[in-house]
Amino acid sequence: MFPYPSGTLHLGHLRVYTISDVLARFHQMQGRHVIHPIGWDAFGLPAENAALERGIHPETWTRQNISTMKKQMEAMGGRWDWDREIATCDPEFYKHTQVIFLRFFKRGLAYQAESLVNYDPVDRTVLANEQVDANGCSWRSGAKVEKKMLKQWFLKIKEFQEPLLKDLDALAKDGNWPERVVAMQRNWIGRSEGTKLRFDVTSNDQTQSIEVFTTRADTLFGVQYIALSLTHPIVQAAARQDSSLREFLAGAEHLAPDSKAGYLLRGITARNPLAKVAQGFDEEIPIYVAPYVLADYGSGAVMGVPGHDNRDHAFWRVNAPDSPVRHVVFPEKGSPVTLPAPGSVSDKPLLEKGYVADDIPGFGGLTSEEAVEAILSKPDMAAEKKENWRLRDWLISRQRYWGTPIPIIHCGSCGPVPVPAQDLPVRLPELDDAYFLGKTGNPLAEHPTWKKTTCPSCGSAAERETDTMDTFMDSSWYFFRFLSPRLESKPVDPKQAEKHMPVDVYIGGVEHAILHLLYARFISKFLATTELWPAGKKVLGEPFKRLVTQGMVHGKTYSDPATGRFLKPDEVDLSKPANPIIRATREPARVSFEKMSKSKHNGVDPGQTIATYGADVTRAHMLFQAPVGDVLEWDETKITGVERWLTRVLRLSTAFWMPVTILERFTSPNDLDAPLNKILLHLQQSDLLRIQHRDLVRIKADPTLPGAEFIHTLAHTERLLWHKTQETIASVTKSYAETISLNTIISDLMTLTNTIWDTPHTSRTVSYLQWYAVCHLLRMLAPIAPATAEEAWNVLHTTTGKKVAGSPRHPLRHFGSTVRSIFAFGFPKADLEGASRLRLKVQCVFAVNGKKKFVTGIPPVSDRMRYYKKDEITDFVLQK
């Protein structure tokens, strides 16, 4: 996910781009053509806010931030395809956002409609929900925000709701998308199956009916009230004659959405549809107006069942405190209807499905499912099965400057007309820095000339649309643009899209699990219906094959246990890092890890960490501290472990060497991955190893024979080292390529480092094998710590060797006169067959009840002590 250019890189950025850089480098080393692009999600509010506060053009602010952040990214040792760099605020980019919008428009998938918005009367602008504080005031002007009906642009995402829901199954398969994200998407789309029921209503003058949607028609026996949304037609009609209702409605706009406020409508009651088929249900049911009922879900009306629903229960307790709730569905068969007294232990909603109370005529004893079927089967009740979706069409209008202008011209006679292709992009009006200072309203609407134009269709005077698009629109298709970033004629070259889409690995924060990913899936599915990405149909129009959501980075936080107050770093004595002391009181400070924020004084500047420890140590520490999906507790005191390890790796590169006579035999980088046989042969030919004559004949006959035919040539410790190296290559490759388990890669490499270091020097062969192992170690390390690996590699291949008989003493330069980059050598391939043919045995003691029975060699699975499963042990052993 590309960054928002907010000004400085934070640890969250560092984490996500380290992960992507590591994966990109790994796949490149495995010989793949990797596109590792970067760009800027450059439109949006913070730039505009900076403009209003400081009198600086949003573009100036944005470009400055981009250039600072670019430098910081380069400092972290990442390698991106800068030649594909894009910024969504470039006219060359937003031209195509406009092209895509117009494709929606021409297909009837973009429309204008009145919608209730937050309006700030002082700044004369529409606000996003996040910009309205808890008291209903504007974050900026402090003015009381009004709800206003305004004409807004929408995209018909609901037309795509079926595939957006269904195709989640394909994404979830094989764990390609995290379960959690799939669940959140599913929930947001929110398909729900239920029943439509009709309650007849009697008021003084006429009879009408109220339709409700319920997922629990089996609780119909327990309905105690009906609740209507604020805009329900019955409420609107009643308000015309009822001034206190009008007051209630005006006040209700400012209530929290979970408020349990209610207004009882007088002179009007409802009748349970059960009255038509069963006795005992012909009571008059009260009707309330309640803000908790959503106007645009179901039919904007709820049948209130306090005995079986949490919200209804809470509402009933507030609005009818003395009236008992009615329980009508029970976990066990055979219970009668109960009416527990308000406030008693049993006065709580029973949320589970179960059996209808025994004493309900005609339905008693049915299961919840059977009861719903029975209700549906009674024609008199006019109940119907119904499906509801929570998803709403996407409101993309913003009355803001810093976004993509919506390319529409409003004509008095032709209506909304698309801007012709040759006139795109519709550019933002050019304004001075000073213009923005303290400005109110929408600059596009208030500009003296910008919006004046002529109708492309009839030529009469017309006005441009002055809304810009939600920035989620830019970020819903930018990944296509990376494939042909400079193409002028189209948003994306369909051939490139066919070749490279979907994105193989998409990495970003879980905070984007819902909206960004949903919109990106929507736009991609739409593009797959156009000639821009026809090949997309084969992959269901899904843009991201695999999704990795990295966890948050939490900062080390100090607080005073006595008061709970968060302490600034200079208020804490850290001379003993394990026991931080509050300077003022000399009491121990409490340490916790919390989301980084100014108020907790726990922010960390990654630039500082990189300056202190270097990019590689910072990267490796970041990856080592937690699996990529987990919260990472950033604790700089632990960084020394990784620092020491990388220093040790550097030292390894000078500790072992290979005589030039052998290096000269390697003619290609692939020889480094040669089977053990071939390596042994090289050693033998250089007179460094004695191989029995019988074996030599065979090895010469076929030096490419995999494995260790001649393994008895090697001593036990030599075999162990070789085996460990191969085993590490296999497991590390899997962690990079399949499980993306980057923290375990580091621990595997640390173990290998120790094994290489600790292998006793029992023979000359050992040091050659150590040299090989270091080669492999560095190649496996390169994606994570590229600079360290490169430097160590250089040293490893240029060190002057110690004098060894038969080897000339000069710098061991090979593969040409200068050492080639480690990245040119690719990633090592495990000689697994060879390793398995080592027939490595570990001496294993078999004991029963602590008494030693016998000792035998068995193949090791790892060099740590472990218990074996029965099926890993031969019959021979079991019999013994």
**Residue 416 to residue 463: CA distance in whole angstroms:** 10
CB of 451 to Zn ion, least distance (A): 15
CB of 515 to ligand ANZ, least distance (A): 19
What single-letter DSSP state applies at residue 202? E
Of 297 and 666, nearer to ligand ANZ (C-beta) is: 297
Of 455 and 742, nearer to Zn ion (C-beta) is: 455
Of 413 and 800, nearer to Zn ion (C-beta) is: 413
Give the residue, chosen from 249, 274, 305, 548, that forms a contact with ligand ANZ under the rule CB under 6 A. 305
Give the residue, chosen from 64, 112, 215, 367, that forms a contact with ligand ANZ under the rule CB under 6 A. 215
Beta strand 39-40 with 86-87: parallel, antiparallel or unpaired? Answer: parallel
> For ligand ANZ, which stretch binds (CB under 6 A), given 207-215, 353-361, 539-547, 695-703?
207-215
Tell me the helix, strand and coil percentages in the chain, rounded to 5: 40, 20, 40
Contact between residue 389 and residue 189 where contact means Cβ atoms under 8 Å apart: yes
Question: What backbone phi and psi angles, to 5 degrees, belong to 125?
Answer: -150, 160
Contact between residue 307 and residue 222 where contact means Cβ atoms under 8 Å apart: yes
Of 28 and 219, nearer to ligand ANZ (C-beta) is: 219
Of 426 and 721, nearer to Zn ion (C-beta) is: 426
Three-class DSSP labels, 107-122: CCCEEEEEEEEEEECC
> For Zn ion, which stretch binds (CB under 5 A), given 336-344, 452-460, 503-511, 598-606?
452-460
**Residue 663 to residue 815: CA distance in whole angstroms:** 9
CB of 749 to ligand ANZ, least distance (A): 49
Q: Kindly tell me the burial class for residue 179, based on how many C-beta atoms sit within 10 Å of its own C-beta (0-12, 13-18, 19 or more).
A: exposed
Residue 152 binds to ligand ANZ (criterion: CB under 6 A): no
Contacted by 562, from Zn ion, ligand ANZ, none: CB < 5 to 8 Å by type? none
Give the residue, chosen from 171, 245, 293, 683, that forms a contact with ligand ANZ under the rule CB under 6 A. 293
Q: Which of 34, 38, 47 is nearest to 73 (CA)?
A: 38
The number of residues making up the chain comes to: 880
- DSSP labels for 321-390? TTSPP-B-EESSTTPPPB-PPTTSTT-S---S--EE-TTSTTTTT-BHHHHHHHHHH-GGGT-EEEEEE-
Contact between residue 120 and residue 143 where contact means Cβ atoms under 8 Å apart: yes
Of 216 and 400, nearer to ligand ANZ (C-beta) is: 216
CB of 114 to ligand ANZ, least distance (A): 19
> For ligand ANZ, which stretch binds (CB under 6 A), given 69-77, 303-311, 587-595, 829-837?
303-311
Of 307 and 555, nearer to ligand ANZ (C-beta) is: 307
Helix H or strand E encompassing 765? helix 764-781
Of 170 and 294, nearer to ligand ANZ (C-beta) is: 294
Contacted by 457, from Zn ion, ligand ANZ, none: CB < 5 to 8 Å by type? Zn ion
CB of 215 to ligand ANZ, least distance (A): 4
Q: Which residues pair with 588 in a beta bridge?
A: 581
Of 395 and 414, nearer to Zn ion (C-beta) is: 414
Q: Which of 779, 807, 769, 557 is nearest to 656 (CA)?
A: 769
CB of 294 to ligand ANZ, least distance (A): 4
Contacted by 213, from ligand ANZ, Zn ion, none: CB < 5 to 8 Å by type? ligand ANZ
Residue 161 binds to ligand ANZ (criterion: CB under 6 A): no
Give the residue, chosen from 6, 202, 453, 457, that forms a contact with Zn ion under the rule CB under 5 A. 457
**Residue 248 to residue 263: CA distance in whole angstroms:** 7
**Residue 435 to residue 433: CA distance in whole angstroms:** 5
CB of 463 to Zn ion, least distance (A): 11
CB of 350 to ligand ANZ, least distance (A): 8
CB of 116 to ligand ANZ, least distance (A): 15
**Residue 477 to residue 471: CA distance in whole angstroms:** 11
Task: Go through 616-626 and write b for each residue having 16 or more CB atoms within 10 A of its CB, e for each that does not.
Answer: bbbbbbbbbbb
Contacted by 309, from ligand ANZ, Zn ion, none: CB < 5 to 8 Å by type? ligand ANZ
Residues 374-413, mask of contacts with ligand ANZ (x by CB under 6 A)? --------------x-------------------------
Give the residue, chosen from 268, 287, 303, 746, that forms a contact with ligand ANZ under the rule CB under 6 A. 303
> For ligand ANZ, which stretch binds (CB under 6 A), given 277-285, 296-304, 317-325, 493-501?
296-304
Of 306 and 502, nearer to ligand ANZ (C-beta) is: 306
Output the six-digit token pair for 169: 């199954």
Determine the 3-state secondary structure of 425 from DSSP. coil
- How large is the angle between the packed helices 639-655 and 615-624, nearest 10 degrees? 120
Q: Kindly tell me the burial class for residue 717, based on how many C-beta atoms sit within 10 Å of its own C-beta (0-12, 13-18, 19 or more).
A: middle
Residues 216-255 that bind ligand ANZ (CB under 6 A): 216, 219, 229
> For ligand ANZ, which stretch binds (CB under 6 A), given 168-176, 211-219, 336-344, 488-496?
211-219
Instruction: Give the sign of the dihedral formed by CA 137, CA 143, CA 146, CA 149.
Output: negative
For residue 635, how many other CB atoms are within 10 A of its CB? 15
Of 192 and 460, nearer to ligand ANZ (C-beta) is: 192
**Residue 329 to residue 350: CA distance in whole angstroms:** 8
CB of 419 to Zn ion, least distance (A): 13
Contacted by 411, from ligand ANZ, Zn ion, none: CB < 5 to 8 Å by type? Zn ion
Residues 403-442, mask of contacts with Zn ion (x by CB under 5 A)? --------x-xx----------------------------
Contacted by 298, from ligand ANZ, Zn ion, none: CB < 5 to 8 Å by type? ligand ANZ
Contacted by 391, from ligand ANZ, Zn ion, none: CB < 5 to 8 Å by type? none
Residue 487 binds to Zn ion (criterion: CB under 5 A): no
**Residue 813 to residue 6: CA distance in whole angstroms:** 47
Task: Go through 265-281 and write b for each residue having 16 or more CB atoms within 10 A of its CB, e for each that does not.
Answer: beebbbbbbbbebbeeb
Of 302 and 819, nearer to ligand ANZ (C-beta) is: 302
> For ligand ANZ, which stretch binds (CB under 6 A), given 88-96, 305-313, 829-837, 850-858?
305-313
**Residue 64 to residue 87: CA distance in whole angstroms:** 13
Question: What backbone phi and psi angles, to 5 degrees, belong to 491?
Answer: -60, -35
**Residue 661 to residue 684: CA distance in whole angstroms:** 11
CB of 453 to Zn ion, least distance (A): 11
CB of 146 to ligand ANZ, least distance (A): 23
CB of 198 to ligand ANZ, least distance (A): 14
Tell how many helices (H) and how many strands (E) occur in the chain: 29, 30
CB of 374 to ligand ANZ, least distance (A): 17
Give the residue, chosen from 100, 117, 274, 455, that forms a contact with Zn ion under the rule CB under 5 A. 455
Contacted by 87, from Zn ion, ligand ANZ, none: CB < 5 to 8 Å by type? none
Determine the 3-state secondary structure of 361 from DSSP. coil
Output the six-digit token pair for 96: 């195509």
Q: Which residues pair with 592 in a beta bridge?
A: 557
> For ligand ANZ, which stretch binds (CB under 6 A), given 14-22, 209-217, 606-614, 823-831?
209-217
Determine the 3-state secondary structure of 325 from DSSP. coil
Task: Rounding to the nearest 10 degrees, give the CA dihedral for residues 463, 468, 473, 474.
Answer: 110
- Which residues form the interface with ligand ANZ (CB under 6 A)? 192, 213-216, 219, 229, 293-294, 297-298, 300, 302-303, 305, 308-309, 388
- Which residues form the interface with Zn ion (CB under 5 A)? 411, 413-414, 455, 457-458
